Amino acid sequence: MNQNLISKKKTVPFSSIFMITFLAIFVQSCGVNNIPTYDEDVKAKWSQILNQYQRRADLVPMLVNTVKGYAAHEKSVLVEVTEARAKVTQTTIPADILTNKAAFAQFQQNQAGLSGALSKLMVVMEKYPDLKANQNFLELQSQLEGTENRISVARRDYIAAVQKYNTEIRTFPGIIWKMIVHKDALVKENFTADDSVKKAPEVKF
């Protein structure tokens, strides 16, 4: 009889451990953590975009000053670049920008405006061989090209992360967890192609 009691006592902790293990595996595999995990990934990718756009904005004043020394009469293009940069740097980015359609669209429009102005400046600079041979200009141009490449990569990664997150909160079982656990999860805004950037600027010599 004592052996039976000991036997029963031994099975209790085992069953408890089994249940805890089962619940832990279930929670991990059922997808309840997917939404916050994907959300953090989107935020990380967004931070990379902001970093690269800031890097580009920091290069613009040095680029404009260098160009002025060789092509001061290209005033309209230089003013356009300067004003486009001002829009980018002076615009306040709200905390909810990733779920704020209007704010996100404004951010994208401002950045597209600077991209277009810089593209036009680079085309105009083709008229100035001396400037193109200037070491400082070549270094700035190289840095700008590298930054534009990093922006493209950062945007690509962000777009993929947002697609994954938005799909999760709209499909099963993520939509269930959104209704029950993650009620504050909102669809995030994504970048769209901008025709003004895709079209090469027309420059008349």
- Write down the pLDDT at residue 3: 53
Query: What is residue 31's predicted lDDT score, i.e. its pLDDT?
Result: 84
pLDDT at 114: 97
pLDDT at 13: 62
Question: Cβ atoms within 10 A of the Cβ of 98, count?
Answer: 20
Q: Give the type of residue at 6.
A: I
Task: List per-residue pLDDT tens for the chain, 205 residues long.
Answer: 555 544 554 555 655 554 555 444 444 556 899 999 999 999 999 999 999 999 999 999 999 999 999 998 999 999 999 999 999 999 999 999 999 999 999 999 999 999 999 999 999 999 999 999 999 999 999 999 999 999 999 999 999 999 999 999 999 999 999 999 999 999 999 998 764 444 444 433 3
Handedness of CA 122, 199, 147, 105 (dihedral sign): positive
Mention every residue, 6+ apart, whose C-beta is less than 8 A from residue 3.
none
User: In whole angstroms, what separates CA 195 from the centre of its chain?
Assistant: 20
| Torsional sign, CA 86, 198, 47, 171 | positive
Q: What 3 state SS string does the chain have?
A: CHHHHHHHHHHHHHHHHHHHHHHHHHHHHCCCCHHHHHHHHHHHHHHHHHHHHHHHHHHHHHHHHHHHHHHCCCHHHHHHHHHHHHHHHHCCCCCCHHHCHHHHHHHHHHHHHHHHHHHHHHHHHHHCHHHHHCHHHHHHHHHHHHHHHHHHHHHHHHHHHHHHHHHHHHCCCHHHHHHHCCCCCCCCCCCCCCHHHHCCCCCCC
pLDDT of residue 198: 44
Closest CA to 98 of 45, 173, 167, 154: 45
Cα 135 to Cα 141: distance, rounded to the nearest angstrom: 10
Instruction: Count CB neighbours of 88 within 10 A.
Output: 19
